[in-house]
């Protein structure tokens, strides 16, 4: 699966009157999650000589939110519970002939894992954890503490799991990414404020 093919898949599932902007938000978020995930994988290798499948991580990060679009109607209003976008994404990917191994990145990425759909492999855990450092709703980077606060609000157990991820993978450095996407965040948030 090439990056350009995955982008085409996003183009296919983005819809509605704000298709262009929503596609841009989800795709940019996916690229950011890919970048953070690879940084975590590199650190694991450098610090502990633990090797991961980086190609799989890249693909997983780029497809993990493919179910996002189906959670909204054509006016960008929620039409299903947001936590279900992982399962929806998994079903879309399986239908498209994507392997279970890859489709699971969608299934098991929501929060720190949701109900029985929790990340199992190191690669799945890395993408799931990396996803916590960037939000799509009002696009922004989140610090570890901000993510933790959100997780605890949903379920204190999720906070415990997030802490375990931190112990395992450390806290990624997003300084450069913040700088790179600073202008994009300013512009896209202006758009978000206008439609929400």
Identify whether the C-beta of residue 93 lies closer than 8 Å to the C-beta of residue 102.
yes
- Nearer to Fe ion (CB atom), residue 18 or residue 29: 29
- Nearer to Fe ion (CB atom), residue 24 or residue 131: 131
In b/e form, how buried is each residue of 8-39, taking b as 16+ CB within 10 angstroms?
ebbeebbbeebeebbbbbbbbbbbbbbbbbbb
Number of residues that bind Fe ion (CB under 5 A): 2
Q: Which of 37, 131, 181, 188 binds Fe ion (CB under 5 A)?
A: 131
Show the CA angle centred on residue 116, arms to residues 112 and 119, nearest 5°: 45
Stretch that binds Fe ion, among 5-13, 100-108, 130-138, 163-171 (CB under 5 A): 130-138
C-alpha–C-alpha distance, residues 82 and 191, integer Å: 21
C-alpha–C-alpha distance, residues 29 and 134, integer Å: 7
In the bound complex, what is the minimum distance in angstroms from residue 26's beta carbon to Fe ion?
Answer: 8
The contact mask relative to Fe ion for 28-67 (x = CB under 5 A, - = no) is -------------------------------------x--
Longest dimension (CA), the chain: 48
Strands (E), 21-152: 134-135, 140-141
In the bound complex, what is the minimum distance in angstroms from residue 46's beta carbon to Fe ion?
Answer: 25
- Nearer to Fe ion (CB atom), residue 65 or residue 125: 65
In the bound complex, what is the minimum distance in angstroms from residue 64's beta carbon to Fe ion?
Answer: 5
In the bound complex, what is the minimum distance in angstroms from residue 15's beta carbon to Fe ion?
Answer: 18
- Residues at the site binding Fe ion, with contacts judged by CB under 5 A: 65, 131
């Amino acid at each position: 699966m090439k990056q350009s093919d995955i982008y085409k898949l996003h183009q296919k599932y983005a819809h509605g009157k704000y298709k262009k902007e929503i596609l841009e938000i989800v795709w940019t978020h996916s690229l950011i999650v890919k970048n953070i995930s690879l940084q975590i994988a590199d650190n694991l290798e450098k610090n502990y000589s633990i090797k991961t499948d980086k190609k799989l991580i890249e693909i997983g990060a780029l497809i993990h939110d493919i179910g996002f679009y189906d959670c909204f109607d054509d006016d960008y209003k929620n039409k299903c519970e947001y936590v279900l976008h992982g399962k929806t994404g998994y079903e879309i990917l399986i239908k498209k002939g994507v392997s279970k191994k890859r489709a699971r990145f969608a299934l098991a990425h929501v929060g720190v894992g949701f109900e029985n759909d929790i990340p199992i492999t190191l690669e799945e855990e890395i993408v799931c954890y990396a996803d916590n450092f960037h939000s799509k709703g009002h696009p922004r980077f989140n610090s570890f503490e901000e993510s933790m606060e959100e997780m605890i609000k949903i379920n204190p157990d999720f906070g415990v799991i997030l802490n375990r991820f931190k112990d395992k993978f450390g806290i990624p450095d997003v300084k450069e990414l913040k700088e790179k996407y600073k202008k994009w965040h300013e512009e896209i948030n202006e758009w978000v404020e206008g439609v929400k």
